[in-house]
Structure 1
Amino acid sequence: MAMGPILGPGRRGRRTPMAEINVTPMVDVMLVLLIIFMVTAPLLVAGVPVDLPDSKADPLQQEQEPVAITIHPDGAIFVGESRVADSDLAARLQAIASGSNEPGGPRIFLRADRALDYGRVMQLMGELSSAGLRRISLVSG
């Protein structure tokens, strides 16, 4: 343990323990470990090269394509490329949610014109939420 300064003029040989910890060696060790991990991490990702056999099976459908919902400047709502009336919107959103096997439904890309009223966008987001669609992304330009 490191010793501190002399206590007084009469006690020259006695020193007090220092309450400070020298962290420089610990920082040096951490930097060396960081460099080692940065060098070895790309080597671990590469794996072992293997010549895989060919297969006639179709690839697994792991994730559905996102559904694009657009609000036109005049307030009309489009799902994909087709226009949806306000009265049919809830049924269409329920069909989209029930057709997905992912929790929270498929990804929804919501596009709205900047000139639209904020309340119109929030109304559509409320409809999406009540249909069980929780994965909504707002698209900007």
Structure 2
Amino acid sequence: MPGVSPLAPPGGAKRKPMAEINVVPYIDVMLVLLIIFMVTAPMLNQGVDVDLPNVDASPVTVEQDENQLIVSVSAKGLYYLERGTDDPKAMALVDIQQYVTILLKSQPKTDVLVRGDEAVSYGVVVALMGSLQTAGAKSVGLITEAPDPQVGL
């Protein structure tokens, strides 16, 4: 018969479209991805020793005003409050937390900044930042100095 396709069903009846999706290839891909995630997930939780890079960043000018509180950590791990022109005195971490709590309740727009000596332990600064956050500081800024351009020549 001319014009009849060899793939057409006998008798000239039309085929119904199949409404099912073959999901077997999708299941294979899903199982491969599951295995990949199971293998890599434990590696994400392990700590890795890194040397942080020294980056030259443009300095941010910060003017001293009444809405600023600077908490300094000395090389010995002592905490100091710097507010205005007062001579800072060493304080316990609990006392600093109480002071910041009272200050932020009365002046909630106060900027809280931390200045830490490079010789102080990282844990001492983290403990201070945790106490400041508990006291109500929504964000805590870190004060740093730009690296000396003459070093390394």
TM-score w.r.t. the length of structure 1 is 0.49
